[in-house]
Amino acid sequence: MKAAVLRQTRQPLSIEEVRIDKPRSREVLIRTAAVGLCHSDLHFIDGTYPAALPFIPGHEAAGIVEQVGPEVRTVKPGDHVITCLSVFCGHCEHCVTGHLSRCISGETKRATDDEPRLSHADKPVTQLLGLSAFAEQMLVHEHACVAVRRDMPLDRAALIGCAVMTGYGAVTHTSNVRPGDTVAVIGCGGIGLSVINGALIAGAGRIIAVDRLPGKLAMARAFGATDTIDASQGDAVAQVQELTAGGVHHSFEAIGLKATVEQAWRMLRRGGTANVIGMIPPGVNIELRGTDFLAEKRIQGSLMGSNRFTVDMPRLVDLYLQGRLHLDQMISQRIALAQINEGFAELQRGELARSVIVFDGVG
């Protein structure tokens, strides 16, 4: 199969022929239909987050099941599926207490002495995040995908696999936004827009979008923001506090920078909660004013929207088909696998919400 392989960090991906194995026991072979380009992939491509080279990135995908292993019970050939990097074992402490996204069990991977799922010239190729979706096929554990209704367009379904699940889940699961609550969102890329859309669905009373690009602020309005703040023009924290008479109930940081995390904290009212979604580079420390804790303010991380994706993603599909989840507007362009490096260059410039790779003849 053709796949986009990274052999050296900070270098372009190369399109290569990679061998993919047949599914064993609880594994599922999926024909990839579409995969989104996410900024999280860039963190691995540029080496900010380490991974064994060579590897195939990509984790925001949808496709059609081609084959299943003998012990698979959750999907069957022909099913349309969305994949998720929150692969779970189903029986560890995190799983049995309902925190599937926290599972770190190694049993969802092949053993080191087994034949690898992916290889090139008889040498292993690392399967990044258990998916490696920038490829014509994916071979994954059955708990890394969920079947969805077949009338859902697969290019839009792919977005649910990361950006939408992460943003919507941060609102509904991690921070439990209630009707009438005030919300601030820092960073209006794919995840930030999904936070805004999720806050709208949750009934938030005021949704304030913060970004530096006018185009993204315009998109934020279309996704449900009631107010927008250009962070390049003055103090964003002071503007949020002025709009809300002292601060918001919930803030969401969707960039992963020290400065914006600290802004998310300072935007809170008494009793408010700051949610850090962005991937902060390793070694970066965050500074918070200690006296703020006396006001019962909280700061917490959100991992993939604290999801239970096998339940959440089919519901998100329903929300899209009801017209309540805005996916069409999120896709800035559809490209071929061969254009992946150009797509990432545009992502780094920060001008687009989402580029989606679409594979010919699938879906």
**Catalytic site positions:** 38, 40, 43, 59, 162
What does the alpha-carbon distance between residue 221 and residue 29 come to, in Å, rounded to a whole number? 39
Q: Which residues pair with 55 in a beta bridge?
A: 6, 126
What does the alpha-carbon distance between residue 114 and residue 338 come to, in Å, rounded to a whole number? 31
Q: How far, in Å, are 14, 96, 208 from residue 48 at the CA level?
A: 20, 32, 30
What does the alpha-carbon distance between residue 124 and residue 165 come to, in Å, rounded to a whole number? 30
Beta-sheet pairing, 298-301 with 206-211: unpaired
What does the alpha-carbon distance between residue 199 and residue 201 come to, in Å, rounded to a whole number? 5
Residue (of 328, 360, 333, 359) closest to 346 by Cα position: 333
**Helix residue ranges, H only, 33-180:** 39-45, 93-96, 154-159, 165-169
What does the alpha-carbon distance between residue 262 and residue 240 come to, in Å, rounded to a whole number? 14
- Six-digit token pair at 338? 């061969």
Residue (of 213, 167, 208, 190) closest to 330 by Cα position: 190
